[in-house]
């Protein structure tokens, strides 16, 4: 695969396939059609940004910067503040990351460094399969199985124990809460982080590990002292990709989080996220209400864009580093 793509980029090939040379009438149409497709992708992106901005202009001029610091969301009074949604999105995604991170990194280490081939194949296949399950199906499982289980085996015992005095735990509510949403998000991003981290670990040259073994390091010392530092930026990139997915994840969270526009640190209380409020309310909204929801969409777009761009850069530079040293 690599040698092929190198051959294609070589200058001789470049000249041979310089596509502006064809003088045939059909080639002119061919070029026009291809350029049209390429430009339409550009137009979709520009159109998306323009439409989101234009659609939220009423809300932007009505609330300005206060939109992001105001925590009251009251459609009947035409008063809109997005703070509970922004905090709810970040808070649930962060907890999802905290829950998923150790398990997915250790699973990636297991798959790449320890598991025999007969075990690695089916496990990897299953993890890829789980990344393909739609959000709404995870939400259904969460509603029917995870949420009752959490209430019975996690929330009730904690609320009766001394841990309940911590600010992140409180009295039991109805079970539609931050904890349930974070758990389902954790299960959903686990396959992503595991797959990206495993790929990065696989890409690290064997010679690096062999050098470490030759110096007398044990397997774990090699992983901790040599492999992981080598893969660090790439793994952080994979983790950020998972975080970006969690931020934009809609249906499963909407079904689990309780949809109350209040932000509390307490994991046992309902919350709301940017994506969920759009999913629940946009179809029926109009006027300033609709504009505020579109501004929330714009906000979500910008946040995921920043997180994903950061992730892509980290993965790109790690891959470049690995290629440079081999």
Partner 1 sequence: MAEASSLLKPSRRSRLRVMFSGFMGIVAAAAAIIACGALLAVLVYLAINGLSALNLSIFTEGPVPQGQPGGGLRNGIIGTLILMSVASVIGLPIGILGGVYQLETNTRFSRMLRFLTDVMNSIPSVVMGIFAYLIVVLPVAAMSPGHAFSAFAGGVALGFLMIPTVMRTTEEILKLVPVALRDASLALGAPQWRTTWSVILPAARGGIITGILLALARISGETAPLLFTAFGNLDFNVRLDRPIDALPLNIFNYATSPYDNLHHLALAGAIILLAIILVLSIAARYALKGQNVE
Print the binding letters for residues 19-38 with partner 1: x by CB under 8 A, - otherwise: x--x-x-xx-xx--xxxxxx
Q: What are phi and psi of 61, to 5 degrees?
A: -75, -25
Nearer to partner 1, 178 or 246 (CB): 246
d(CA 172, CA 258): 13
Q: Which two tokens stand for residue 92?
A: 């649930």
Q: Which is nearer to partner 1, 160 or 224 (by Cβ)?
A: 224
In sequence order, the 6+-apart residues with CB closer than 8 A to the CB of 232 are: 318
How large is the angle between the packed helices 274-281 and 83-109, nearest 10 degrees? Answer: 120
Q: Which is nearer to partner 1, 45 or 324 (CB)?
A: 45
Q: Which stretch binds partner 1 (CB under 8 A): 58-66, 155-163, 200-208, 219-227?
A: 219-227
Nearest approach, Cβ of residue 313 and partner 1 (Å): 11
Out of 260, 301, 319, 322, the only residue in the binding site for partner 1 (CB under 8 A) is: 301
- Rule CB under 8 A: choose which of 151, 235, 300, 314 binds partner 1: 300
With left for phi above 0 and alpha for psi between -120 and 50, is residue 301 left, alpha or beta? alpha
Helix axes 83-109, 287-325, angle to 10 degrees: 30
Distance (Å) of CA 29 to CA 21, 26, 35, 103, 258 = 13, 5, 10, 54, 55
Strand (E) or helix (H) holding 80: strand 79-80
- Which stretches does DSSP call E strand in the chain? 73-74, 79-80
Q: Rule CB under 8 A: say whether 283 interacts with partner 1.
A: yes
Residue 257 φ/ψ, nearest 5 degrees: -85, -15
Mask 140-179, x = binds partner 1 (CB under 8 A)?
xx-xxx----------------------------------
Min CB(312)–partner 1 separation in Å: 6
Binding-site string for partner 1 from residue 227 to residue 266, where x marks contact by CB under 8 A and - marks none: -----------------x--xxxxx---x-----------
Residues 268, 269, 270, 273, Cα dihedral to 10°: -80
Residues 98-137 within binding reach of partner 1 (CB under 8 A): 102-107, 109-111, 113-115, 123, 126-127, 129-130, 132-137
Using the rule CB under 8 A, is 215 a contact of partner 1? no
Choose the stretch contacting partner 1; rule: CB under 8 A; options: 150-158, 159-167, 231-239, 308-316.
Answer: 308-316
315 binds partner 1 (CB under 8 A): no
For position 318 contacting partner 1 by CB under 8 A, the verdict is no
User: Using the rule CB under 8 A, is 197 a contact of partner 1?
Assistant: no
How near is the Cβ of 4 to partner 1 at its closest, in Å? 6
The phi, psi pair for 93, rounded to 5°, reads: -70, -35
Check residue 52 for interaction with partner 1 (CB under 8 A): yes
The verdict on 214 binding partner 1 (CB under 8 A) reads no
Residue numbers 56-95 binding partner 1 by CB under 8 A: none
Name the residue among 47, 231, 288, 252 with its Cα closest to residue 142.
252
Q: Which stretch binds partner 1 (CB under 8 A): 68-76, 165-173, 262-270, 295-303?
A: 295-303
Closest CB 167 distance from partner 1, rounded Å = 27
Q: Cα–Cα distance between 2 and 275 in angstroms, integer? A: 40
């Amino acid at each position: 695969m690599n040698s092929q793509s190198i051959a294609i980029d070589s200058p001789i090939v470049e000249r041979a396939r310089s596509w502006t040379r064809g003088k045939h009438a059909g080639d002119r149409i061919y070029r026009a059609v291809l350029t049209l497709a390429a430009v339409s992708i550009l137009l979709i992106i520009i159109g998306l940004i323009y439409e989101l901005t234009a659609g939220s202009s009423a809300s932007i001029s009505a609330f300005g910067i206060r939109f992001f610091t105001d925590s009251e969301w009251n459609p009947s009074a035409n008063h809109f503040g997005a703070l509970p949604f922004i905090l709810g999105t970040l808070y649930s995604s962060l907890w999802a990351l905290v829950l998923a991170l150790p398990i997915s990194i250790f699973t990636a280490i297991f798959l790449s460094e320890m598991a025999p081939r007969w075990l690695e194949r089916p496990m990897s296949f299953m993890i890829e399969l789980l990344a393909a399950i739609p959000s709404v199906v995870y939400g259904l499982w969460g509603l029917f199985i995870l949420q009752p289980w959490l209430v019975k085996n996690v929330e009730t015992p904690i609320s009766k124990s001394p841990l309940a005095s911590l600010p992140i735990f409180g009295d039991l509510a109805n079970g539609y809460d931050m904890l349930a949403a974070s758990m389902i998000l954790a299960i959903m991003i686990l396959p992503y982080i595991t797959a990206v981290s495993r790929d990065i670990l696989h890409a690290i040259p064997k010679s690096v590990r062999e050098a470490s073994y030759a110096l007398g390091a044990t397997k774990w010392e090699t992983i901790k002292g040599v492999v992981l530092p080598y893969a660090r930026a790439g793994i952080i990139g994979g983790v950020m990709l998972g975080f970006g997915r969690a931020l934009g994840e809609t249906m499963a969270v909407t079904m689990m989080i309780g949809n109350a526009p209040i932000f509390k640190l307490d994991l046992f209380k309902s919350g709301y996220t940017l994506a969920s409020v759009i999913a629940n309310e946009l179809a029926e909204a109009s006027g300033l209400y609709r504009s505020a929801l579109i501004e929330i969409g714009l906000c979500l777009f910008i946040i995921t864009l920043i997180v994903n761009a950061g992730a892509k850069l980290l993965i790109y530079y790690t891959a470049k580093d690995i290629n440079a040293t081999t």
